[in-house]
Amino acid sequence: MLKGFGKFIMRGNVVDLAVAVVMGAAFGAVVTALVKDLLTPVIAALVGKPDLSSLAFTLNGSRFLYGDFINALISFVLIAAAVYYFVIAPLNALTRRLSPQADEPPPKLKECPECLSEIPEAARRCKFCTSALAAAA
C-alpha cells in the first residue's frame, strides 16, 4: 500500500502540480508586495490617502474596508495580466507554431492515357512516362 502511494506521489503530474502551487503562491506574494508597496502609494497619492487599505466607511456601526477590496482587485488584475501575457499568450503562439497548418487542397488529378498514372489535371506532360498530353480544358 505504501509502495503504491509512493508511486502516486512520484508521478510527474503530481510533482508538477505541487511545483506549480508553490510557484503560484510565491508569485502571488510578489504581486501582492508590488501592489502594496509600489502601486498602492501611487494610486493613494492621486486619491490623497497614504494607504488604500485604510479607506473605509461606517454604516450602522459596521465598518466597510473598501480600500482592502481595491488592493485585492488591483492584485487580481495584475496576476491575471501576468498569467495571460507570460503563460497563455506564449503557449497559444507555440501551439499555433507547432500545429500542422491547413495545407492547400490537393490538385485535381487525371489519368495519363499512356501509362495510366495519376497526374495533375493541368499537366501537359506525364511526369512518369513523359508523354505529351492534350491541353487541359
pLDDT score of 129 more than 90: yes
Residue 77: CB atoms within 10 A of its CB come to 12
pLDDT of residue 136: 53
Distance CA 45, CA 51 (A): 9
- Which range among 29-33, 43-47, 107-111 shows the weakest confidence by mean pLDDT? 43-47
Among 22, 14, 16, which Cα is nearest to 4's? 14
pLDDT band at 111 (very low <50, low <70, confident <90, very high): very high
By the 8 A CB rule, do 93 and 105 touch?
A: no
pLDDT of res. 61: 92
Q: Which residue has the higher pLDDT, 21 or 35?
A: 21
Average pLDDT along the chain: 82
What CATH architecture does domain 2-98 belong to? Orthogonal Bundle (1.10)
Choose the weakest-confidence range: 58-62, 73-77, 118-122, 128-132. Answer: 73-77
pLDDT tens figures, 48-104: 766 677 788 999 999 998 888 888 888 788 878 877 888 789 988 988 888 877 667
Residues 6+ apart with CB under 8 A from 109: 118, 119, 120, 121
Three-state SS string over 56-88 comes to CEEECCEEECHHHHHHHHHHHHHHHHHHHHHHH
pLDDT at residue 137 above 70?
no
